Amino acid sequence: MKQVIKPKREREGEIEIERERERDKERDKERKRDRKRDKERKRDREIDRERERCRDSERCRESERDAERVKPSSSKANKAPSIPPKQKSTMPPIVIDGKTANHTGLINDLKTFVTGEFSVKHTNYTTILFVDKKEDYDRVLTTIKADNIAYHTYTSNNDKSHAFVLRGIAEGTKIKDIKENLDDEHEITAREIYQMNTKERPLFLVVTDPALTLDYLNKNTKRVLYTRVTWELRKSTKLIIQCHNCQQ
C-alpha cells in the first residue's frame, strides 16, 4: 500500500504540472484563433482593396464615356460618308431566247433608249436583261416586240394582283354598282370586275391589290349592296403551269 499511495507533495506537483499543460493548450488554442482572425482580416482588406480598384476602373470608364459624349460634333463631320446600299430593282428580268452574237452591239443599242442602269447576263441558251426603271422596262419590251424577238418575262410586283370570286349577288346587278359599293362601304379598291359565264346565279370576278386576302374579305365584307355574299379564290384552269425558275 505504501508503494501505491504517493505522498501528498508529489500529488500536488503532478496536479500543478497538469494544470500548466492545460494552460498551454488554452494558450495554443488562443494563438490559433488569433492567427485565424488575422487571416480573415487580411482577406477582408484584400477584398476591400479589390472592390476599390473596381470602383476606380468603373469611374475611369464612366469618365471616358462622358468625355466621348462631349466630343465636338466636328469629328463626326470628318468621318467618311457611308455609301448607301443599292436598292434592289423591282422590275422582273427579260429573258431573250437565244445567245447574243455581238455583246458590244447589244450594249450600244440599249444605251440609245435605256435611261437608267441596266445589266446583261449571258447563259448557254438565253440572254437576260435587267433594268431598274419601269419606263426602261416598257421601252425594252416595245423594242423586242417590234423586232419580233422571242422572249418571256413575268409580272412585276407593282402589277401583281389577286382575283376573288364574288358569290351571292342577284342577277341583273350592274358591275359599276358593285365597284362603288366596295369602295364606299368597305374601302376596297377593285381594279377590275368581270361577270363570269355561268348557268346558275351570276358570279363576279373581282381583281384587287395583292395585299388583300380571302380571310379579310370573309370576315369584313359579308354584305355587298345589302346582300349576303361569300368570297372564294379563283381556281386556275391552266393544265400546264409556269416554271418558277425560267418563267416559261
221-246 pLDDT per residue, tens? 999 999 999 998 887 665 555 555 55
Say what the pLDDT of residue 228 is. Answer: 92
Q: Is residue 120, in this structure, part of any structural domain at all?
A: yes
Q: Is residue 128, in this structure, part of any structural domain at all?
A: yes
152, 186, 201: which is the final residue of a domain?
152
152, 171, 198: which is the final residue of a domain?
152
- Do 225 and 167 belong to one domain? yes
Q: Which residue has the cell 354584305?
A: 223
Which residue, 212, 211, 209, 210, is CA-closest to 231?
212
Q: Is residue 179, in this structure, part of any structural domain at all?
A: yes
Say what the pLDDT of residue 180 is. Answer: 93
Q: What is the number of structural domains in the chain?
A: 3
Say what the pLDDT of residue 77 is. Answer: 47
pLDDT digits (tens, 9 = 90+) for 115-140: 889 999 998 889 999 998 888 888 99
Backbone angles phi, psi at 130, to 5 degrees: -125, 130
Which parts of the chain sit beneath pLDDT 70? Answer: 1-12, 54, 57-89, 157-158, 236-248
- Do 168 and 217 belong to one domain? yes
The whole-angstrom separation of Cα 56 and Cα 186 is 66
Range of the domain at 28: 1-55
Residue 166 corresponds to which amino acid? L
Q: Is residue 170, in this structure, part of any structural domain at all?
A: yes
- Do 166 and 148 belong to one domain? no
- Do 125 and 177 belong to one domain? no
The whole-angstrom separation of Cα 106 and Cα 137 is 16
Q: Which residues contact 117 (CB under 8 A, 6 or more apart)?
A: 131, 132
Say what the pLDDT of residue 209 is. Answer: 85
CA distance readout (Å), 128 to 99, 101, 113, 133 = 10, 14, 17, 16
